[in-house]
Chains A and B, each alone.
Chain A
Amino acid sequence: MVPMSYFVALSAVLFVIGVAGVILRRNIIVIFMSIEVMLNAVNLAFVALGRRLGSMDGQVIVFFVMTVAAAEAAVGLAIILSVFRNRETVNADELNLMRW
C-alpha cells in the first residue's frame, strides 16, 4: 500500500511544476499545457483523498474536471489558433494589447 503522503506530495509537485510553467514560459501553447498539468495534479489529489475517505465524491469531481478540461482545451486551442493567425506569434510577451 503506497502511503497517502506520496500521492499528495506528487500532486503538489505536479501543481508547482504547472504554476512555474504558466508563469515562466513564454510560449502560450506550453502555458496551456502547464494549465492541464495543474488540473491533473488536482485530479490526482481528489481521487487519492476520495479513496482514503471511502467516498465517491472525489471521483465524481474528477470526471467533472476532465469534462471542463476537454471543453477548455477546445476553446483555448481555438483562441491560440486565431491569435496566431492574426499576430504570427505565440509569444506571451508580445501579446500585450491590454497594456496601459
Chain B
Amino acid sequence: MTAQFPALALILLFPALGFLFNVFCGNRAGRGAVNLVGPGVIFLAFLVTLWGFTRLLAMPSGAALEVTLWPWITAGQFHTEIALRLDALSAVMTLIVSGVGAVIHLYSVGYMAHDEDYARYFAYMNLFALSMLVLVLADNLLLMFVGWEGVGLCSYLLIAFWYDNAQFAYNGRKAFVVNRVGDAGFVLGILTILSALAAHGVWTLNFAELQTHSAMLAPVATMAGLLLLLGATGKSAQIPLYVWLPDAMVGPTPVSALIHAATMVTAGVYMIARLHFLYTLTPDAMYVVAVIGTVTAFFAATVAVVQTDIKRVLAYSTISQLGYMFMGVGAGAFAAGIFHVMTHAFFKGLLFLCAGSIIHALDGEQDMSRMGALWRRMPITYATMLAATLAISAVPGFSGYFSKDLILERTFAAGDHGLWLIGIITAGLTAFYMFRLLFLTFHGTSRVAPDKHVHESPPVMTVPLIILGVLSVVGGWIEMPDGWLWGGAFTHFLEPVFGPFRAHGAAGEAVGLAALLATLVGFVSAYVLYIQNPMLPAQIAADARAVYQVLVDKYYVDEAYNLIFGRFLFWGSETVLNRGVDHDLIDGIVNGTGLGVEESGEITRRSETGNVQVYAFVYLVGAVAIVAYYVYLVMVR
C-alpha cells in the first residue's frame, strides 16, 4: 500500500534552499544568518522526516509514502521520473541522515567559529546532506545515482576544504578519483540490470518494479551484484577501494563526522540493502560481499591498533565497522546491517565530534602521544567519549552491542562460521584500539605541550555531544531480545522490506558469549598495556619491529597502489595525455595553424612592393587576361 505524501519534497527543498542561500547570500548575510540557516534547514528536513515517519507508523506494515515530482527522462520505451519514496528502509536512513546531520551541523557552528570561510563551509555541508537525502529517498536507481555522485562531489569539496594546503587538496582529489573507480562499477551495474530487463521488454529502474520483475534479473544477478558491489566498496570504503577514507580526515573534523557517520560511507550498505532482492538471487555475490566485509573489518582493525593520530584511528575504525555492516548484509541479515548503520551513525559521529572537541581544545593537536590525562579538564567530552567507546566496543547495554551482536549472531546462523570467527577477533581488536585511544587521550600522565590552554568546548559543541551520547547509549534498545522493552522492534519494522531472515542453523548462547569474551580481552589488554604498564607498548613494538612497522605503514597498500596503478596513471597522464595529446597534438594543430598563416604571409607580402607602377602592371595583365578570355569566347563561337 502506498500513499501520496507531497511533503516529502520538503525534505529535499530545505537543504537545497540552504545551499543556495549560503552560496549566494552567505558572505553578505554574515555569520549570524549562516549559523542560523546552515543547521536550521537540516533540522527542518529532520522535522519533516519525523512527520512522514509518524504517518508511516500509522499505516499498515509494509506501506510507503510516495511523491512524483516531475517526469525526468523519456527515451523510447524507457521512462523515469524524479520521484521520492519513503518506506521503512528509507525512513530509517532519512532519519539518520537528517537527524545526525542536523546535530553535526549544529556542532560545526562552534567548530568553525574561527574560520573565515564559514559560508562556503555550510554551503558544502547543506549540499552534502541534500545529496545524501536524494540518494536515500530516490525511488529509482538513476535518481539514486544522482545522489551517489553528489556525495562524491561534496566529499571532494569538503576534504579539500582548506585547499591552500597542497596535501589536503591532493587527498581531496584522491577521494574523488578512487570513488570514480567505484562509480564506474555502479554505472555498469545499472546498465547490466537495464539491459537484462530490456531483453524482456521491461524498461524500468524503479525499485518497486525491479523487485516485481526480479525473476528476469536472475541470469545477470551475479554480474550486476558484483559490479554494484564495486561501487559500494568505493563509497563505503571497503577493500579494495578504502584508501581514500583514512586520508579524508584532513577536512574539518565535523566533515569527517558527517562522512563517517551520517552520509557517504553508509551509501554502499544502503544500496545493497535497497537491492536485497537482487543479491538474494545470487549467493555467490552475497558471499563475496560478506568476505570483503569481514576481511576489511579485520584488516582495518589491525591497522587502527598502532596508529597514533586520533583521527586516523577513528578512520580505520570506521572502515572496520563498515566491514561489519557488509558482513551483515552479505550474510543476508540486511536489517542487522542497517541497524549497525544506525548505531554506528550515533557513536561514530560522536567519536569524531569528541575528537574534534579535543583537537579544538589543543589548538589542532592530533597526535595522541601528545595528549593524556584530559578527563579532568574536559569532563563532558570525556563522559560522551566514554559512552561512544563503550558503544563501539559492544559493551552490553550500549547501542553498538545490540547491532554488532545481531550481525555476528546472524552471520553464525547463516552458516559462515569462519567469517564469524574473524568477526569475533575483530570485536576484540575493536575494544582494544578504542580503549587504547581513550586511555591515551584522557588517562595516564599528561603529555600535552605546556603552552596549550586546555578547556572544555562551548555549549554549541557540547550539546551535540550530549545528544549523540544519549543516543549512543539508548539507540540500541529498540532491538532487544524478545520480551525486553520493545523486543526486536527494529527488525520487525524492516521485515516487510527485506522479508524474514533465513537462518541455516541456530546460534546458541555460546555465540553471544564469545563476542563478550573478545570485548573483555580487548579491554583488559588495553588496560594492562596503557594504564598499568605504559612502558610496555614501546617494548612490544621494539620486539616485533617488522610487524609493527608494517601495521604503522598500513600494510603499504598506498605504496602498492601507487606502484601498480598510480605510476602507470601518472605516466600515462603526463607522457601520453599531457605531452603527447595535449601539448603535441592539440597545441600542435592550433599553433601550426597560426604558424602556417604567418609563414605564408611572410612569403606573399613580398608582392607588396609599394611601387605603384608594378601594381599598374599587374592590373594591366589582369585586365588583358580578362579581355583575352572574352575575345577567346567570341572567337570560338
Contact = CB atoms under 8 A, between A and B. Distances in A.
Nearest to A99: B610
Interface string A37-66: 000000000000000000000000000000
B611 A22 contact: no
A93 B606 contact: no
Contact of A23 (B605, B609, B613): B613
Interface string A5-25: 000000000000001001110
B616 interface: yes
Contacts of B616: 22-23
B546 interface: no
Contacts of B617: 23
A95 interface: yes
Interface string A71-100: 000000000000000000000110111111
Contact of B610 (A23, A26, A98): A98
Interface in B557-610: 605-606, 608-610
Contacts of A22: 613, 616
Nearest to A95: B612
Interface of chain B: mostly helix, strand, loop or mixed: helix
B449 interface: no
B620 interface: yes
B622 to A, nearest CB: 13
A19 B612 CA distance: 13
Nearest to B615: A98
Contact of A97 (B605, B610, B613): B610
A14 B60 CA distance: 114
Interface in B397-432: none
A95 B610 CA distance: 8
B616 to A, nearest CB: 6
A97 B616 CA distance: 16
Given A100-B605, A100-B606, A93 B611 contact: yes
A24 B613 CA distance: 8
Given A19-B620, A23-B620, A100-B605, A92 B610 contact: no
A96 B612 CA distance: 8
Contacts of B620: 19, 23
A69 B616 CA distance: 19
A92 B605 contact: no
B613 A96 contact: no
Contact of B608 (A19, A24, A31, A98): A98
A92 B611 contact: yes
Contacts of A19: 620
Interface in B95-135: none
- With most chain A CB atoms within 10 A of its CB, the pick from B605, B606, B608, B612 is B612
A31 B609 CA distance: 18
A92 B608 CA distance: 15
A19 B606 CA distance: 24
A100 B616 CA distance: 17
B612 A92 contact: yes
Given A23-B616, A98-B610, 19 more contacts: A19-B620, A22-B613, A22-B616, A23-B613, A23-B620, A24-B613, A26-B613, A92-B611, A92-B612, A92-B613, A93-B611, A96-B610, A97-B610, A99-B608, A99-B609, A99-B611, A100-B605, A100-B606, A100-B608
Interface of A: 19, 22-24, 26, 31, 92-93, 95-100
Interface of B: 605-606, 608-613, 616-617, 620
10 contacts: A19-B620, A23-B616, A23-B617, A31-B613, A96-B609, A96-B610, A97-B610, A98-B610, A99-B611, A100-B606
